[in-house]
Chain A
Amino acid sequence: MNDTQIIKILASIIAQSAPLMLAVTGETITERGGVINLSLDGTMLLSAMTGFVVALQSNLMLEGMGITGNMLPVLLGFAAAALVGILAALLIAWGSIRLRQDQVAIGFVLTLLLADMANFLGQNHTRIPGPSVAYMPIPLLKDIPALGPMFFSHNLAIYFAFLVVGLAWWWTYKTQPGLRLRGVGDRPESAFARGIKVNRLRYIYTAIGGALVGIAGATYSLSIKLGWSDNHILGIGWIALAIVIFGGWHPVRGAFGAILYGATKALATVLQQAFPEVPVVLFNSLQWLLMLGVLLLAGSKGLQRLVDIVPRPLQRPLARSLRVAAPQSLGKVFVEE
């Protein structure tokens, strides 16, 4: 394998991880506010389908009017997908905040329901070619050796994912509203006592998270795994939910987890080609074994064992940098009184 091939693989890892990063960041924001949106898998399926079909139909319409090569259809597709994500997220927020029903139950039922809905509504649009996000290398930056092809030769959707991760980090940790977001998820009583409208903020951040999850779904169908087929991206939503935990509810660590996942998948593909005699089953099961392993590690006991291995002087800083804690009021209903 030569250098260009390696750079090509690394670039594809970056691209493949982008939608996962978006979903992870979205869910991280939602859970930071204290709401669990367990419907990710179904939401992403439905938004992937919606995004593709809307882009396809609006493209046909524009072509009928004699307009081609326009970005509008794809943008409309993303907007529709974001709307799907927002609606699903708001349904969960409404069900738990207003109606006081179990978030986990609603989220789980919704994930099954939305997956079925995606397959049902998308039944006439399977396996057909359609529009996709246009390739858009960034001038100048793309010519940097190695880094250029890796990071700056993608499309807008991929750049957007990285931008969102940075923004989410800055917002959560460096701004006043971000402090309020964390307060609402950690200590809603104290936040409320300081005059913050806890439940209104929870609605808002659940919706923002949902929008990102929806955009993530459309990024698959319009950029990474083009088009629509039954259960097009089934399972990815669960992976994203696990990465949120692995990332310790931190946007940048979550993005790192997403890239790690993408890298593992790419590595598996490379290894599979290199060792055809090893049963494929091993490579297929890798992502799920990885999910279990990573969650074991994120659990406090697994972490302690890891910390115990390293030399003593390094133990404390390592433990501090690895330790993650869920938002303290995650999944708990808050009654404003």
Chain B
Amino acid sequence: MSEQTIRRIWPSVPIVTALLFITLLLVAVGAKPLTAYQAFFDGSFGGTDQTLSTLAFWVPLLLCSTGLLVTFTAGLWNIGVEGQMIAGAIGSSAVSLLVAKPNPSIPGWVILPLSIIVAMLCGALWAALAAVLKTRGGIHEIFSGVALNNLAIIATNYLISGPWQPPEGGTFRGTVPFPEQALFPLLGTSRFSPLSLILALIALILVALALRGTFWGLKLKAQGKNLRSAFLLGVASEREAINAMMVCGALAGLAGSVRVLSWFDSLRQSISGGIGFLAILVVLLASIRPLWTLLIGLLFSALLNGGTFVHSRVQLHSSLSGLIQGTLVLLVLLLSDYTRVFRRKETVTEANTGHE
């Protein structure tokens, strides 16, 4: 095969390898691969209900990914996006339970924007905490992110089993349903809110434009490429890091708000559904490109939504969708450069250009 042919077909190699690997795993646990794949498709785009529910997963995923575009551009590993989403969900729940519920006369067009703003603020503050722990405390954002994610989960559990517990108690782990006017307007009987998708798309476009065409975007890029040089050239790196984290946190907070105010109608135990972590995978796979983030986000939310369907139809563990997504991203990351995969000994010139 000529080098050019290899280069042309190479992008499909990780995808095919991932599919083969997953098929092998399915066979290993005694499942029929084709039935499982069929169930994935039926569960994600098989009908209007399924498609709308895929879209409903897409919105928060898109919001988190958009935020992560900012932090990844700045060279930050915002693992805490999951916790920032939960913080936003808690913020919106507080508005719904403490403001909307006692005052049914406040109309939706007042309460919903308020709810969104509070959610974004909560997310941004939770992110700022991680940022300050990094810039002032010297804790890498990965570690503070992990700790803050778990603290956010614990806070949720505390709220739904303590102050916000439904009066009848019961085994149902969640708050009472929020009043109608506090929720996103939903499409028909689905859990999908077109308004939330519009917000997410606006956010993505704004972030894409800001990263591409503004001085702020340039500063973030410089910082992400080489922190020290950027600092020496006059980028206030601490402040920019905090800003980037807070922008991401605000968008993740909005994602959390969408989760509680459209997918659910109350604060639940597993409010994030792993969407924050999934968003990290999306942005990694898209190599921080906005358009690809949009498309891969749709594919991954289809997988996520299909996974629950696969679970109920063919009794396969719902972690299967995560397995497919993870394998795909890992292989694409590993095999992105085919010259590295094949070349046995490196020449000196190549080594020089290959420096990180």
Residues of A within 8 A of B (CB): 38, 91, 95, 98-102, 104-106, 108-110, 112-113, 115-117, 119-121, 123-124, 235, 238, 241-242, 245, 279, 281, 284-285, 288-289, 291-292, 295-296, 299-302, 332-333, 335, 337
A235-B150, A281-B162 given; A117·B334 CB < 8 A: no
Please pick, from A110, A281, A288, A289, the residue contacting B330 in the complex, using a CB distance under 8 A.
A110
| B25:A292 contact, CB within 8 angstroms | no
A selection of 16 A-B contacts at a CB cut-off of 8 Å is A38-B142, A95-B334, A99-B334, A99-B341, A100-B340, A102-B333, A109-B329, A113-B323, A115-B322, A117-B326, A121-B29, A238-B143, A285-B150, A288-B150, A291-B147, A295-B138
Partner of B25, one of A104, A106, A120, A235: A120
Is there an interface contact between A279 and B143, defined as CB atoms closer than 8 Å?
no
Q: Does B70 contact A (CB under 8 A)?
A: no
* Docked pose: A101 CA to B330 CA in angstroms: 11
User: B355 — which chain A residues lie within 8 A by C-beta?
Assistant: 335
Contact A301 B320 (CB under 8 A): no
At the interface, is chain B mostly helix, strand, loop or mixed? helix
A121 touches B25 (CB 8 A): yes
Instruction: Specify which of B79, B147, B154, B337 is in contact with A108 (CB 8 Å cutoff).
Output: B79
Question: Are B326's CB and A116's CB within 8 A?
Answer: yes
Q: B155: which of A108, A238, A281, A299 is its contact (CB, 8 Å)?
A: A281
Known: A106-B333, A124-B29, A279-B162. A296 touches B137 (CB 8 A): yes
A332 to B355, CA, bound (A): 10
Min Cβ gap A125→B in Å is: 11
Partner of B333, one of A95, A292, A332: A95
The answer to whether B277 touches A302 (Cβ under 8 A) is: no
Expressed in whole angstroms, the minimum distance between the Cβ of B130 and any Cβ of chain A is 10
For A108, list chain B residues within 8 Å (CB): 77, 79, 142, 280
> Once the chains are docked, how many angstroms separate the CA of A78 from the CA of B193?
50
Q: Which A residues lie within 8 Å of B133 (CB)?
A: 292, 296
One of B39-47, B169-177, B346-354 at the interface: B346-354
Closest-CB distance, A133 to chain B (whole angstroms): 27
B327 at the interface (CB under 8 A from A): yes
- Given the complex, which residues of B lie within 8 Å of A109, measured CB to CB? 281, 284, 326, 329-330, 333
Could you tell me the distance between the alpha carbons of A301 and B281 in the complex, rounded to whole angstroms?
A: 33
Within 8 A of A (CB), among B245-282: 277, 280-281
A112 and B326 within 8 A (CB): yes
- List of B residues within 8 angstroms of A299 by Cβ: 137-139
- Determine which of A102, A245, A281 lies in contact with B154 in the assembled complex, contact meaning CB atoms within 8 Å: A281
Q: Is B356 an interface residue (CB 8 A)?
A: yes
Is the CB of B37 closer than 8 A to any CB of chain A? Answer: no
* Complex CA distance for A109 and B323, rounded to whole angstroms: 10
CB distance from A25 to the nearest CB of B (A): 19
What's the least CB distance linking B141 to chain A, in Å? 11
Which residues does chain A contribute within 8 Å of B316, judged by CB atoms? 120, 123
Q: Are B337's CB and A295's CB within 8 A?
A: no
Q: Is the CB of A105 within 8 A of B322?
A: no
**Contact status B158-A279, CB under 8 Å:** yes
Taking CB as reference atom, which chain B residue is nearest A295? B139
Residues of B with C-beta under 8 A to A284: 154, 157
Q: Are A112 and B137 in contact (CB under 8 A)?
A: no
Residue of A nearest to B345 (CB): A336
Given known contacts A106-B334, A337-B351, is B323 in contact with A289 (CB within 8 Å)? Answer: no
Complex CA gap A312/B49 in Å reads 71
A48 to B250, CA, bound (A): 37
Cβ–Cβ contact B330 & A301, under 8 A? no
In the complex, B209 has a CB within 8 A of chain A: no
B138 contacts A98, CB within 8 Å? no
Chain B: minimal CB distance from A97 (Å): 10
Task: From B79, B146, B154, B340, give the contact of A99 (CB < 8 A).
Answer: B340
Q: Which residue of B lies closest to A104 (CB)?
A: B77
Residues B323 and A292 in contact, CB atoms below 8 Å apart: no
User: Given contacts A124-B29, A295-B139, is CB(A98)–CB(B340) below 8 Å?
Assistant: yes
Question: Contact between A296 and B326 (Cβ–Cβ < 8 Å)?
Answer: no
User: How many angstroms between the C-alpha atoms of A265 and B334 in the bound complex?
Assistant: 38
How close is B78's CB to chain A, nearest CB, in angstroms? Answer: 11
Instruction: Report the nearest B residue to A234, measured CB to CB.
Output: B150
The CA of A105 and the CA of B286, in the complex, are separated in Å by 13
B312 within 8 A of A: no
Checking B277, B317, B335 against A112 with a beta-carbon cut-off of 8 angstroms, the contacting residue is B277
When chains A and B are docked, how far (Å) is the Cα of A320 from the Cα of B77?
32
Q: What are the residues of chain B within 8 A of A242 when measuring CB–CB?
A: 143
- Write out the residue numbers on chain B whose beta carbons fall within 8 Å of the beta carbon of A95: 333-334
Taking a contact as CB atoms closer than 8 A, the residue among A98, A113, A116, A241 that contacts B143 in the complex is A241
- Cβ contacts under 8 Å, A337 to chain B: 346, 348, 351
